[in-house]
Amino acid sequence: MDLSKILSITGKPGLFKMVANVKNGLIVESLIDNKRFPVFAHERISSLEEISIFTMEEDLPLKEVFKKIADHLAGASIDSQIGATRSQTEFFRTVIPNYDEERVYSSHIKKILTWYKLLQDNNLLNFEEENKEDQMEEATPEESTEKSEK
């Protein structure tokens, strides 16, 4: 899952996919209604790849948060979790028990769950690619040559 081309733009609802670079900004496509429009360099744009969540130990990248949510839901839709603020906080606490409750507000949790649903609805959450990459990185060159010799 490549979150580097999925953007959040301050003041605009939802998430956006980067389509192209232009001279003084980007062309983005909304994941909500698939409309394309320009975004300029002076606007606050954040790639989801750069966003992380405060925990008691160290910051947890958003990609890891999404993976933990997906593992917890086991393929189910997140629709039932985007209800009351209280249930969102309880759900988030079960998924990431060590998040910093003083620095991660309920509005952050709501935004993360909404983003997850939007990515899920657009089939942009693919954790199988990462599992294959992780397995390839874990295999040492010696193991790779041993497997190929057999």
Q: State in words which class domain 52-128 has.
A: mainly alpha
Q: HEC string of 19-62?
A: EEEECCEEEEEECCCCCEEEEECCCCEEEHHHCEECECCCCEEH
Confidence (pLDDT) at 131: 53
In this model, does residue 1 exceed pLDDT 50?
Answer: yes
The structure tokens listed for 64 are: 């890891």
Q: Check for a shared fold between 6-48 and 52-128.
A: no
Confidence (pLDDT) at 41: 85
- Read off the pLDDT of residues 94-139 as tens digits, 9 standing for 90 and up: 999 999 999 999 999 999 999 999 999 999 988 776 555 555 555 5
Type of residue found at 98: N
Q: Domain residue spans in the chain?
A: 6-48, 52-128
**Which 3 state secondary structure label does DSSP give 89?**
helix
Tell me 109's DSSP state.
H
The structure tokens listed for 149 are: 């010799």
Other beta carbons within 10 angstroms of residue 129's beta carbon come to 10
Confidence (pLDDT) at 145: 45
Higher pLDDT, residue 34 or 136: 34
- Domain range 6-48, its CATH number among 1.10.150.240, 2.30.30.730, 2.160.20.10, 3.30.70.360: 2.30.30.730
In this model, does residue 144 exceed pLDDT 50?
Answer: no
Asked if residue 30 lies in contact with residue 13, where contact means CB atoms within 8 angstroms, the answer is no
Nearest to 69 by CA among 82, 51, 56, 57: 82
